[in-house]
Amino acid sequence: MTDLEHAIQTVRFLAVDAVEKANSGHPGAPMGLATVGVELFTQHLRFDPQDPNWPNRDRFILSCGHASALLYSLLHLAGYDLSLEDLQAFRQWGSKTPGHPEVGHTPGVETTTGPLGQGIGNAVGLALASKMAGARVNAADNALIDYRVFVVASDGDLMEGVAREAASLAGHLGLENLVVIYDDNRITIDGSTEIAFTDDVQKCFEGYGWSTEAVDGHDALALRGAINRALTASARPSLIRARTHIGFGSPGKQDKAACHGSPLGKAELSATKAAAGWPDSPMFRVTPESYAPFKARVVQNQAERAAWLKQFDRASAATKEVWAQLVERKLPSDALEQLIVAAGTKALATRRIANQVQQKAAELMPAIVGGSADLACSVMSTLYGAGNVGKADFSGKNLHFGVREHGMSAILNGLSLSGFFVPYGSTFLIFSDYMRPGMRLSALMERQVVYLFSHDTVYLGEDGPTHQPVEQLSTLRLVPNLHLFRPADPMECAAAWYHAMTRSDGPTALVLSRQDLPVLERPASFEPRTVLKGAYVVSDVEKPELVLIATGSEVGVAIEAKAILAASGRRIRVISAPCWELFRALPKAEREALLTPGVPRAVFEIGSTAVWQGVVGEAGLVIGHDAFGISAPWQRIQQELGFDAATVAARLAAHYFA
CB of 228 to a second copy, least distance (A): 26
CB of 553 to a second copy, least distance (A): 19
| Near a second copy in 15-54, by CB under 8 A | 22, 24-25
- Using rule CB under 8 A, residue 589 touches a second copy: no
The reply to whether 554 belongs to the active site is no
| Near a second copy in 602-641, by CB under 8 A | 608, 610-618, 626-628, 630-633, 636-637, 640
- The only residue of 140, 267, 317, 377 in contact with a second copy, by rule CB under 8 A: 377
Kindly give the pairing relationship between strand 191-192 and strand 187-188: antiparallel
Q: List, edge to edge, every strand of the sheet that includes 536-539.
A: 536-539, 572-576, 546-550, 601-604, 621-623
Per-residue contact string for residues 83-122; x = within reach of a second copy by CB under 8 A:
--------xxxxx--xxx-x---------xxxxxx-----
Helix (H, G, I), strand (E, B) or coil at 254: coil
Q: Assess contact for 450 and 381: CB atoms under 8 A.
A: no
| Near a second copy in 384-413, by CB under 8 A | 388, 390, 400-407
Q: Assess contact for 411 and 166: CB atoms under 8 A.
A: yes
Q: Contact region for a second copy (CB under 8 A) — 7-15, 195-203, 329-337, 538-546?
A: 195-203
Q: Assess contact for 445 and 112: CB atoms under 8 A.
A: yes
Cα-to-chain-centroid distance, residue 618:
36
| Near a second copy in 248-307, by CB under 8 A | 257, 261
- The only residue of 159, 214, 564, 586 in contact with a second copy, by rule CB under 8 A: 159
CB of 299 to a second copy, least distance (A): 34
Smaller CB separation from a second copy, 302 or 378: 378
Residue 92: exposed, middle, or buried by beta-carbon count in 10 A (0-12, 13-18, 19+)?
A: middle
CA angle 133, 139, 140 (to 5 degrees): 125
Smaller CB separation from a second copy, 43 or 475: 475
Q: Identify the sign of the CA torsion 491, 497, 501, 505.
A: positive
Smaller CB separation from a second copy, 295 or 436: 436
| Near a second copy in 162-181, by CB under 8 A | 162-165, 168-169, 171-172
Cβ count within 10 A of residue 153: 26
For 469, 628, 638, 640, the CA distances from 632, given in Å and listed in that order, are: 15, 13, 10, 10
Q: Contact region for a second copy (CB under 8 A) — 2-10, 425-433, 512-520, 571-579?
A: 425-433
Closest by Cα among 294, 295, 306 to 56: 306
The catalytic position among 102, 405, 554, 581 is: 405
Q: Assess contact for 140 and 430: CB atoms under 8 A.
A: no
DSSP structure class, residue 251: T
Q: Assess contact for 73 and 18: CB atoms under 8 A.
A: yes
Per-residue contact string for residues 470-499; x = within reach of a second copy by CB under 8 A:
xx--xx-xxxxx------------------
Smaller CB separation from a second copy, 196 or 296: 196
The alpha-helical segments, DSSP class H, found in 450-566 are 472-477, 490-502, 553-566
CB of 188 to a second copy, least distance (A): 5
Smaller CB separation from a second copy, 521 or 640: 640
- Using rule CB under 8 A, residue 459 touches a second copy: no
- Using rule CB under 8 A, residue 65 touches a second copy: yes
Smaller CB separation from a second copy, 519 or 632: 632
Strands (E) located in 449-543:
450-454, 483-485, 508-511, 536-539
| Near a second copy in 506-535, by CB under 8 A | none
Q: Contact region for a second copy (CB under 8 A) — 52-60, 206-214, 338-346, 643-651?
A: 206-214
- Using rule CB under 8 A, residue 440 touches a second copy: yes
- Give the whole-angstrom CA distance, residue 326 versus residue 397: 12
Smaller CB separation from a second copy, 470 or 652: 470
Residue 410: exposed, middle, or buried by beta-carbon count in 10 A (0-12, 13-18, 19+)?
A: buried
- Give the whole-angstrom CA distance, residue 67 versus residue 436: 23
636 sits in which H/E element: helix 634-641
Per-residue contact string for residues 337-376; x = within reach of a second copy by CB under 8 A:
-----------------------------------x-xxx
- Using rule CB under 8 A, residue 655 touches a second copy: no
Q: Assess contact for 602 and 653: CB atoms under 8 A.
A: no
Helix (H, G, I), strand (E, B) or coil at 649: helix
Helix (H, G, I), strand (E, B) or coil at 441: helix
CB of 656 to a second copy, least distance (A): 17
Smaller CB separation from a second copy, 584 or 651: 584
Smaller CB separation from a second copy, 78 or 615: 615
CB of 296 to a second copy, least distance (A): 33
- Give the whole-angstrom CA distance, residue 87 versus residue 21: 10
Q: Contact region for a second copy (CB under 8 A) — 72-80, 204-212, 301-309, 450-458?
A: 204-212
Residues taking part in catalysis: 405
